[in-house]
A and B are shown apart, each in its own frame.
Chain A
């Protein structure tokens, strides 16, 4: 997976650093950020499309296009652009059942 960031922080952050994991790797974001922001400031991809090898990283950023879903390890689906980052989130780019396969 592309490890070059897609998004870039262009203004200072006041919030505390928040640790989470994405596909098993520990990443850091800031409180106040969405899951999408925190992941895409470290990676270029949020998820793989269910129907092909196509990669996706969100599109509308206003909770309409539903193209920024990620999964928690226990199977909960989260819309990354509208879900705030929280400490200890264990996130996956594919549904857990698909990652095991």
Chain B
């Protein structure tokens, strides 16, 4: 019997596992986290009494349904939580679980690796008290903790007002929400929003609630600095009209949308293409999510589409896999899912336009600003390297010379900024500057585990 492995137990991975299980197979579902649900549909840790219904709002039903359906299939699949996939060679996965390394052979691989926040540095962004917007949400959802008592949300993301409301509802002060994009850009993106009017209206209702609760909203701001001595004391920025503003706070949530976690797809052999529009290199795939021979990508790890698209693309990838293995075929359902995924991802593309990340800040970022958090590499070091004639302006070369992106996170946090600096400095396009290649191990693994290979 064919061995189908799914990596990632978020909405895409769960739906893929469910679809394969229903066809009579036993898929292996691997997840790094201890509990299924991914990041967006993360459940609270045991003993943390958070009102998830209130927190999730109108998304609660889908969240509850996904977890309910997962519980109903978990005994009939091979579910392996707390397991990291850190390398792939041919048809073998290398995993790490509880300090033990093991291998898994597969005939077909579905990667549903999810996304992380897309972040851009500003002076002071490494200070304790600054977290990603996604991290700020997880602190609440999973751990029932606020990242401060007085928090400024900064960036360009439809999540800004949502996260602000979630925190306000638990009594946290939000002295400002700062959006680096202007209202005009949002209005010009309106046509694409008709693809998902529900999501659009939800966004409008968050903004309306914030306006009613008198939360100061700033649009078209430019970041100056986050300041403090070993922890956040406040944030400085320019308002849309160019006025300098200082707001005291003890926490900052920073985020400029999401970007797919593509390291596993990379190791599995996916081909990447520059998407100049989104400013990201994305894996090439067909409308089913097929990215290679017996390789499928689903969810936000393939292309940002949100939770609904993740569920649909997980089912779709599973159906396509089953069909090409000659196990099960439902062309009608497949077509329906293809249309749904296409529509939802088009909506997200519209959102990405409305909340375009501030590539232009690469120009004004002070030389002393840390770009690579892991290796403490500053903007000035990268710029200096680019001036040297023997540094070709290609991402991996600049990484090799400066160490930017060479640290433990493998450029997950700094790659967008490194790319923007190189593109701006050399006046080149995304395709000309290239992309950081994924390397095994995709996350640090202890050397001690190497001696403990499982039988």
Contact = CB atoms under 8 A, between A and B. Distances in A.
A81 B33 CA distance: 11
B138 A31 contact: no
B422 to A, nearest CB: 21
Range class of the A interface residue count: 35 or more
B374 interface: yes
Nearest to A37: B143
Contact of B376 (A7, A31, A52, A62): A52
B129 A11 contact: no
A57 to B, nearest CB: 3
Given A44-B231, A59-B132, A7 B145 contact: yes
B145 A37 contact: yes
B124 to A, nearest CB: 11
Contacts of B261: 64
B144 interface: yes
Nearest to B444: A66
A40 B146 CA distance: 11
Interface string B46-61: 1111110000000000
B230 A76 contact: no
B138 A61 contact: yes
B135 A8 contact: no
Interface in B429-455: 443-444, 446
Interface string B302-313: 000000000000
A32 interface: yes
A84 B98 CA distance: 13
A44 B46 CA distance: 24
Interface string B155-179: 0000000000000001110000000
Contact of B131 (A11, A15, A46, A58): A58
B230 A13 contact: no
Interface string B246-270: 0000110000000001000000000
B33 A82 contact: yes
B374 A54 contact: no
A70 to B, nearest CB: 13
Main secondary structure of the interface of A (DSSP, over half): loop
Contacts of A13: 47-49, 144
- Main SS at interface, chain B: loop
Interface string A6-46: 11111111110000000000000011111001001100111
Contacts of A65: 116, 132, 373, 409, 412-413
B103 to A, nearest CB: 22
A66 B231 contact: no
B47 A32 contact: yes
Given A15-B46, A84-B45, 11 more contacts: A6-B147, A7-B139, A10-B144, A10-B172, A13-B49, A57-B128, A59-B126, A60-B131, A66-B407, A66-B443, A77-B446
19 contacts: A2-B230, A6-B128, A6-B129, A6-B147, A6-B231, A11-B49, A11-B50, A31-B46, A32-B48, A34-B45, A58-B131, A59-B126, A59-B130, A60-B413, A61-B139, A63-B33, A67-B409, A77-B446, A84-B45
Most chain-A CB neighbours within 10 Å: which of B33, B48, B172, B407?
B48
A60 B171 CA distance: 23
B172 A60 contact: no
B245 interface: no
B18 interface: no
The 8 closest A-B pairs by CB, nearest first: A15-B47, A61-B135, A57-B128, A32-B47, A11-B144, A66-B408, A32-B45, A14-B47
Contact of A6 (B136, B148, B171, B444): B148
B273 interface: no
B135 A66 contact: no
B354 to A, nearest CB: 24
